[in-house]
Structure 1
């Protein structure tokens, strides 16, 4: 074998793993957060899912959306390669941890009770109550950062609808949740949120910059750029606005 061919072969074998890395498929993770993301007839659905899917279609990217418990999705996006996550609250603490793309919904968080007579004047007053949270979500992180403790005054689970059931059964006193998410869950049970849920404390400092689409920090810049370009094409075509109007 000529020396030049040998050098070429060795160079190709060296570069091959890098070529395979660049071709690594995009992994997309989300949670059960209706109406933004949820399982519908066994498939991922919801408003945010439709936005992400429209961009993937525009890019010609295979759909690989996985709905899973939030703690797992968050860990995958925090530590994995080529991962897209939605719907992620954008807060100062999370700002350097992800590459942010697009806010897709506002984030109005509240503490809710079923007791119409209960009202809190401060977060400190909530410490004597049992509060339902979702593991590693922004609400739970917020309360832990403010001195609340799982097993003491926080009861952590994997789903928001489970927490509402806990509230209805009297197993917890308060429910920390995004307002839109709470209203959707209650309506799905044929109940009127205005008559059923009673906000006892608005958490205006919690929502950050709303709910977002973001990428793991270990995602190739080319992938993020392609997604942003696809998003702009979906926006320019009117598809993005049509999705938002559908879910209003």
Structure 2
């Protein structure tokens, strides 16, 4: 009987001790962070826009989980979820108040209109000349918002989808006149699908990379200690890093 009591007592002490250690570790690490991203954690694990953001979170030693989803859903989820971050994300004026910001985490990009090389009937010098044309863009993206804000008087139609790849497919199949996105995104798609760059031409610069920084955004419902750790980790890893864009050696031919 005494041996049985002693065994149960030791087991009880072990359980209490383990529980206290676990609670202490959780208190040290802070609440688990949820990473919202439109990028594929497997296929794009080495992409600077994803890797740099993940490296910052890892450096904090906070526990985390990654949720990959379409951009518009990732953005809405990050705004309404406590202890959450979203990256990559451009810091544009109407987003500033919704998050704590860590900038930059990667190089910003020039944004262009692209068209099929075979569409010799299309040739523009200004955005206003897109009147009557159909332009593909990612729904609720920074580029989508920029076009609506700065070019809403032009009589074009926007076809918004949740994935860049969908827009590119539509362009290649002749269902769009133009797509609006970065040259780097198009290069990545063409490379992964073994497509010739001669199929598409770069028609018009919408804006250049100096306009908005590429960032990580932290939800307002995130614990202040976690916010401080993320900011400190960004400074430690990238505080002196030059995020000027790298020259594109094998890009798409310009129409001009």
TM-score, length of structure 1 as denominator length: 0.74
Residue equivalent to 2:86: 85
User: Which runs of no fewer than 5 residues in structure 1 stay unpaired?
Assistant: 1-18, 32-36
Whole-Å separation in 2 of the counterparts to 1:207 and 1:133: 21
Q: Deviations over 1:38-80 (max 9, x none)?
A: 2426x85532222122222222122312110001011112233
Q: Could you tell me how far 1:232 is from its partner in structure 2?
A: 3.0
Distance 1:39 1:23, change over 3 A: closer
Residue equivalent to 1:224: 227
Distance 1:83 1:148, change over 3 A: farther
Residue equivalent to 1:113: 115
Contact 1:77–1:216 (8 Å) recurs in 2? yes
Whole-Å separation in 2 of the counterparts to 1:44 and 1:148: 40
Q: Deviations over 1:168-220 (max 9, x none)?
A: 00111100012211221122222343x23212110116873232112123323
Whole-Å separation in 2 of the counterparts to 1:121 and 1:78: 38
DSSP 3-state at the match of 1:128:
coil
Whole-Å separation in 1 of the counterparts to 2:223 and 2:83: 7
User: Which runs of no fewer than 5 residues in structure 2 stay unpaired?
Assistant: 1-25, 250-256
DSSP 3-state at the match of 2:218:
strand
Contact 1:92–1:208 (8 Å) recurs in 2? no
2:133 maps to 1:126 = no
Number of equivalent positions: 214
Structure with greater Cα Rg = 2
TM-score, length of structure 2 as denominator length: 0.72
